């Protein structure tokens, strides 16, 4: 199967409109560089207004027939889609490593976690069941259906270029909607490959369209009257803006945003496992996961484990994502690297101790890459910038607490709410946490991704039952079929009592 990436001598990312890959007519392009080398990989178009209009028109037209296909037809497409993704896991991962920088194995994980959503959508006939009730009143039937909304849209971030588009596309379309997606302009390749695979699985033209760009494309989605719902995943700034602008325009919006996930380390935990999990969850993917465990609170005697934590972190191998045995790769851009290094320095300036400094790392053979080694700041206090801001890099900030209650107080005072974990062997203590001896408690697709507080805006969450609820509206039909012919002599004008 021909793929977009790497087959063309002109390094441009195409649009996907009405089932066709289209070269943009734009004059404005965003250069996309390999984070490990800073070599140009492709140029991503800022779609023109006409191209974005064409994408929505195509989705609107496709909705007329797609929404009437049988749910079993849509299910069958998902079965085929999941099979094609599985067969192309490696090429998807290669594209992710090239454009995003994460290691090949981690990139496969990125695809797999999205693939699981596709697999869950294979059970859409059950997921989309409506409700009814026997004997609601004599001869009266009330039935509720979950029906699609129309044209829906996705706006996705750079850190999971396959997984997050797969949080939106399969759920939206198996529910009978059509979809316009704007993947991150920093790594849209995986999304392009996925929509091509979806077409190969039998999805008709127009059901999913891909546009590219930055703010103008986002505004277009927020404002277009034919788009009924927006799924957004990304930073706080963009998420709040999109939630507000989309909602003002009468759209349903779900907005998954930034995080500052805390892990509480109790001295009764399994030390070996805890330190390994902490290191994996803080530094994996160079800390560029919304569920990265970026903040650790060591309670009481667990503070003595810090030297060993440093020792383990130091052993991680930082290199280009395609180099075998690499633990984590570069961060996304030189700007991100600069920002992360500044945040590390701000911690030092505000009185934190730099237990491990990953700044200034040069990787042999990849001297121009955006690398930062594992970094640990200790003695961090909640008023410091490095604690308050999401760093989104390979930096673990460590706080200390005398008691579990004090640790919980710190967590509850933090505005974010994506995931918190505790490491303990005490069942009673663990009840208060969403992750127990699991550093990254991302819910599997049969559940929903239930971020809260400052990490989420909206009512219904991504994927699982809540994802189906987000992408459907309830239509309730009330019908009266009398068993025997009853003729009323007079109109009933009062409410029945």
- 166-205 residues in contact with ligand NAD (CB under 6 A) are 182, 184-185
Cβ at position 157, least distance to ligand NAD in Å:
3
Rg for the chain, CA atoms, rounded: 25
Specify whether the CB–CB gap between 205 and 127 falls below 8 A: no
Q: Which string of DSSP letters, residue by residue, matches 48-78?
A: -HHHHHHHHHHHHHHHHHHTTS-HHHHHHHH
392 near ligand NAD (CB under 6 A): yes
Specify whether the CB–CB gap between 453 and 416 falls below 8 A: yes
CA distance 358 to 372: 5
Specify whether the CB–CB gap between 110 and 288 falls below 8 A: no
DSSP for residue 137: B
- Indicate the residue among 114 and 358 with the shorter CB distance to ligand NAD: 114
- Other beta carbons less than 10 A from residue 452's beta carbon: 12
286 near ligand NAD (CB under 6 A): no
In the set 230, 290, 318, 372, which binds ligand NAD (CB under 6 A)? 290
CA distance 161 to 207: 20
Beta bridge partners of 457: 255
Q: Is the dihedral of CA 483, 487, 488, 491 positive or negative?
A: positive
In the set 258, 284, 435, 439, which binds ligand NAD (CB under 6 A)? 258
CA distance 313 to 294: 13
470 near ligand NAD (CB under 6 A): no
> Residue 207: which residues within 8 A CB-CB, separation 6 or more?
59, 62, 66, 173, 178, 179, 198
Residue 90's alpha-carbon distances to 33, 83, 196, 444, 467, in angstroms, are: 21, 13, 16, 22, 28
Q: Which residues of 237-272 are buried (b: 16+ CB within 10 A; e: fewer)?
A: ebbebbbebbbeeebbbbbbbbbbbbbbbbbebeee
CA distance 76 to 72: 6
- Indicate the residue among 327 and 390 with the shorter CB distance to ligand NAD: 390
Instruction: Report the interhelical angle of 189-200 vs 165-174 (nearest 10°).
Output: 30
- Pick the piece of the chain touching ligand NAD (CB under 6 A) from 21-29, 93-101, 228-236, 481-489: 228-236
- Other beta carbons less than 10 A from residue 429's beta carbon: 18
In the set 189, 329, 393, 451, which binds ligand NAD (CB under 6 A)? 451
Cβ at position 438, least distance to ligand NAD in Å:
17
- Indicate the residue among 79 and 241 with the shorter CB distance to ligand NAD: 241
Cβ at position 356, least distance to ligand NAD in Å:
23
145 near ligand NAD (CB under 6 A): no
Beta bridge partners of 399: 297
- Pick the piece of the chain touching ligand NAD (CB under 6 A) from 150-158, 265-273, 310-318, 357-365: 150-158
- Indicate the residue among 285 and 313 with the shorter CB distance to ligand NAD: 285
Cβ at position 251, least distance to ligand NAD in Å:
15
CA distance 389 to 168: 27
Cβ at position 399, least distance to ligand NAD in Å:
20
- Indicate the residue among 48 and 274 with the shorter CB distance to ligand NAD: 48
- Indicate the residue among 298 and 456 with the shorter CB distance to ligand NAD: 456
- Indicate the residue among 55 and 238 with the shorter CB distance to ligand NAD: 238
416 near ligand NAD (CB under 6 A): no
In the set 162, 218, 318, 395, which binds ligand NAD (CB under 6 A)? 218
- Indicate the residue among 176 and 394 with the shorter CB distance to ligand NAD: 394
Catalytic residue among 121, 122, 222, 290: 290
In the set 390, 393, 417, 471, which binds ligand NAD (CB under 6 A)? 390
- Site map (CB under 6 A) of ligand NAD, residues 317-356, x = contact: ----------------------------------------
In the set 4, 66, 160, 366, which binds ligand NAD (CB under 6 A)? 160
Please work out the total of residues on this chain that contact ligand NAD, with binding judged by CB under 6 A: 29
Active-site residue flag, 290: yes
Cβ at position 351, least distance to ligand NAD in Å:
26
Which residue is nearest to ligand NAD, using beta carbons? Answer: 234
- Other beta carbons less than 10 A from residue 397's beta carbon: 26
The backbone torsions φ and ψ at residue 208, rounded to the nearest 5 degrees and listed phi first, read -130, 130
Binding positions for ligand NAD, rule: CB under 6 A = 155-160, 182, 184-185, 214-215, 218, 233-235, 237-238, 241, 256-259, 290, 390, 392, 418, 449, 451, 455
* Enzyme catalytic residues: 290
């Amino acid at each position: 199967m021909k793929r977009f990436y790497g087959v063309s001598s002109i390094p441009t990312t195409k649009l996907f409109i009405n089932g066709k890959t289209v070269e943009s007519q734009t004059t404005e392009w965003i250069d996309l560089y390999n984070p490990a080398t800073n070599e140009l990989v492709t140029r991503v178009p800022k779609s023109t207004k006409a191209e974005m209009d064409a994408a929505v028109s195509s989705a609107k037209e496709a909705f007329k027939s797609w929404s009437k296909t049988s749910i079993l037809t849509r299910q069958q497409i998902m079965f085929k889609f999941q099979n094609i993704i599985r067969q192309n896991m490696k090429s998807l991962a290669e594209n992710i490593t090239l454009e995003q920088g994460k290691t090949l194995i981690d990139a496969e994980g990125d695809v797999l976690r999205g693939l699981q959503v596709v697999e869950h959508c294979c059970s859409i006939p059950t997921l989309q069941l409506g409700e009814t009730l026997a004997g609601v009143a004599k001869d009266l039937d009330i039935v509720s259906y979950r029906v699609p909304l129309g044209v829906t849209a996705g706006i996705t971030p750079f850190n999971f270029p396959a997984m997050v588009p797969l949080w939106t596309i399969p759920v939206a379309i198996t529910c009978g909607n059509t979809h316009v997606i704007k993947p991150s302009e920093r790594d849209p390749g995986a999304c392009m490959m996925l929509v091509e695979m979806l077409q190969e699985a039998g999805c008709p033209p127009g059901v999913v369209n891909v546009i590219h760009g930055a703010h103008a494309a986002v505004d277009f989605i927020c404002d277009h009257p034919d788009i009924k719902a927006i799924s957004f995943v990304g930073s706080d700034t963009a998420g709040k803006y999109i939630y507000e602008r989309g909602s003002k325009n009468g759209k349903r919006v779900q907005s998954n945003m930034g995080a500052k996930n805390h892990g509480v380390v109790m001295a009764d935990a399994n030390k070996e496992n805890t330190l390994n999990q902490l290191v994996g969850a803080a530094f994996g993917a160079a800390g560029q996961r919304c569920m990265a465990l970026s903040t650790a609170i060591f309670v009481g005697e667990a503070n003595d484990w810090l030297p060993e934590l440093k020792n383990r972190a130091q052993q991680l191998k930082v290199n280009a994502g395609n180099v075998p045995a690499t633990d984590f790769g570069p961060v996304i851009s030189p700007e991100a690297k600069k920002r992360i290094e500044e945040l590390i320095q701000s911690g030092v300036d505000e009185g934190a101790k730099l237990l491990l400094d990953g700044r200034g790392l040069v990787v042999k053979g990849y001297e121009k890459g955006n690398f930062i080694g594992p970094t640990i700041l200790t003695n961090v206090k909640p008023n410091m910038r490095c604690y308050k801001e999401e760093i989104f890099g390979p930096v673990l900030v460590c706080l200390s607490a005398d008691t579990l209650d004090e640790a919980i107080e710190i967590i509850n005072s933090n505005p974010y709410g994506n995931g918190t974990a505790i490491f303990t062997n005490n069942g009673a203590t663990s009840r208060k946490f969403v992750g127990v001896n699991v550093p990254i408690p991302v819910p599997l697709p049969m559940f929903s991704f239930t971020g809260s507080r400052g990490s989420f805006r909206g009512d219904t969450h991504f994927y699982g039952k809540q994802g189906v609820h987000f992408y459907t509206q309830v239509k309730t039909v009330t019908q009266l079929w009398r068993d025997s012919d009853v003729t009323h002599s007079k109109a009933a004008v009062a409410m029945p009592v």
